[in-house]
Structure 1
Amino acid sequence: MAYIDQDGWLFIVDRRTDMMLSGEVNIYPAEVEDVMRVNAAIDDIAVLGLPDDEWGQRVHAVVVPSSTVEAGDVLAREILSATARSLAKFKIPKTLEFHESLPYSPTGKLLRRVLRDELTH
């Protein structure tokens, strides 16, 4: 997924296969991740769509917390509250969980497919 700005520059923002469709609205993980990534409590983040009976997909965040904070419900609420100040309501993750690390390829690409498979099986 990409766009061209008014000066003619092409910006690639996300992969179509990573796009989520929730309630007939397109949501791009990179946009949500960029907003969440500025939080000092987050070392790494992956946002992906998980199956949802009502909406088709729900926005789900997998967070690797900073070593200076304690992962748990309090931190999750703080992260989601901060995210709500910068994103439309439908883009805010409906669910969030903490992991110690995220899967990456040897070249440093986030393996969203691997993570999605782990979460849905």
Structure 2
Amino acid sequence: MAYEIELDVGGEKKKFIRNEPPVLRDMTKALIVQQQQLKMYSKDDGPTEDDFNKNEKNLANFAVSFWKNQFKADQFIAGCDKKNMDILNLAIGDSLGGGNEDSPKKSQSKTSTKQ
């Protein structure tokens, strides 16, 4: 599956493509994003401004790593729109093992026929 985003970089639309499936590095970075989001949304009084800033940084760092340094974190933050966030969320989900059709299917558990 190709992961394709188009960022506004300095007023110009630029396309970035990744054709490889997620690897361990992507899985680890996706876990970092997920862990921070779980922490921020599980607080009794909700996320703080600092939490949102950390989330933005983690998402941008994931994107830079996932698309193999084709752009910088600040370029992603400044040029990413809703459509690109949907693609980023797909990449994170696939890295975590959700929805990736290329991933191995879990085998059915065996049932005993003994009485």
Instruction: Assess same fold via TM > 0.5.
Output: no
Greater percentage in helix: 2
Name which structure has the greater RCO, CA cutoff 8 Å, separation 6+. Answer: 2
Greater percentage in strand: 1
TM-score, normalised to structure 2, is 0.30
TM-score, normalised to structure 1, is 0.29
